[in-house]
Structure 1
């Protein structure tokens, strides 16, 4: 776990719960002042985020209620600007503006991005700046598809690679089609090998 993430997420009440359930000692070192905070995205995080076609984003309202929203787009719509900054084009949806309103009140955001195929997930905490600066919006907009009128720029405060346990394996349409094509080619290859050996086989359709 990231030390920076632990220092933000492990509040006094969280530490009480860890102590009560027997995991406090496991995380003691993460909170030691002698351990340097690791709050900069590395190559692994940058590649992972740039490959995602969606993520879940949580904000908090004035009344203290959490609000979770799914943000999606073509792979690459979530852009890594530098080691501490990511951003995405804020496309128009149903015009409720709940996340936007929450972020105007409290700029803190929590994000979780999941790769269901490799069973990996990355959690991020950060602070948001909503911008209509045309240069930044152009940077965040993709070359194809819809154009956004504003951008969301997130300054990363901490991140953490989450435990892969309980992540279901799911394929996108493109991933499924690629897997089917791979299996079809493998079947054809095996059938050809058997045919070359004079072994008759029924044709199998995956």
Structure 2
């Protein structure tokens, strides 16, 4: 994969960084952080996401951001530099699909709000009809639930992790429900024990 700084810190971005005195620091940091491929931890993070945001641009350079979501595992790592997911039936606007057909470059944000972690991926995307997709790839993706029309594949060009600053710590509903159910079960067990103790005291005449 490419050096994230070499890919993104160009033109006026680099000039502003130089004026602010941070360009050299960033260049040095990203030399150490550049990876040839996604690490095992990176791939594990990707495959435990339930959603991500994907940005594309139209022919005039206007950006567009779309949300993609699904069950855990809907986003699959096919190789250390390639990820994929099913493209579910949506509102039939086909904005991202049209953009990618003209310019495959995309940017992905993968969020873990509970742990306040954010992965940024730059890559080249392709969208293919399911009938034209590799069956070996489709076998690796969940097919139950929302019907899909296409397969989205992203060849990762560069990646970066953001610091947790300013990421709100949201808790997924399934995690909150599990914690609430466990706490309620503990309270119920304690209540039952107290009732039994009280009944024993009454029966003994105390």
Which category describes the TM-score, using the shorter chain as reference length?
0.7 to 0.9
SS at match of 1:145: coil
Q: Which residue is equivalent to 2:63?
A: 66
How many residues in Structure 1 have an aligned counterpart in Structure 2? 195
Q: Which residue is equivalent to 2:173?
A: 173
Of structures 1 and 2, the larger Rg is shown by 2
Q: Which residue is equivalent to 2:145?
A: 145
Q: Which residue is equivalent to 2:102?
A: 105
Contact map agreement 1:4 1:39 (CA 8 A) in 2: no
| 38, 44, 48: which one aligns with 1:47 | 44
1:117 corresponds to 2:108: no
1:131 corresponds to 2:125: no
Q: Which residue is equivalent to 1:17?
A: 16
**What does the per-residue CA deviation read over 1:72-97, in whole Å, with 9 as the maximum and x for residues that have no partner?**
11111111001000001011100000
Mark the CA change 1:193 to 1:6 in structure 2 (over 3 Å): closer, same or farther: farther
Q: CA deviation at 1:50?
A: 0.7
Contact map agreement 1:39 1:158 (CA 8 A) in 2: no
Q: Which residue is equivalent to 1:161?
A: 161
Query: Cα RMSD (Å) of the superposition?
Result: 2.6
Q: CA deviation at 1:181?
A: 2.5
Q: In structure 2, how many angstroms separate the alpha carbons of the residues matched to 1:138 and 1:31?
A: 35
Deviates more, 1:186-195 or 1:71-80: 186-195
Q: In structure 2, how many angstroms separate the alpha carbons of the residues matched to 1:115 and 1:41?
A: 17
Q: Which residue is equivalent to 1:27?
A: 26
Q: In structure 1, how many angstroms separate the alpha carbons of the residues matched to 2:96 and 2:136?
A: 20
Contact map agreement 1:131 1:137 (CA 8 A) in 2: no
SS at match of 1:89: strand
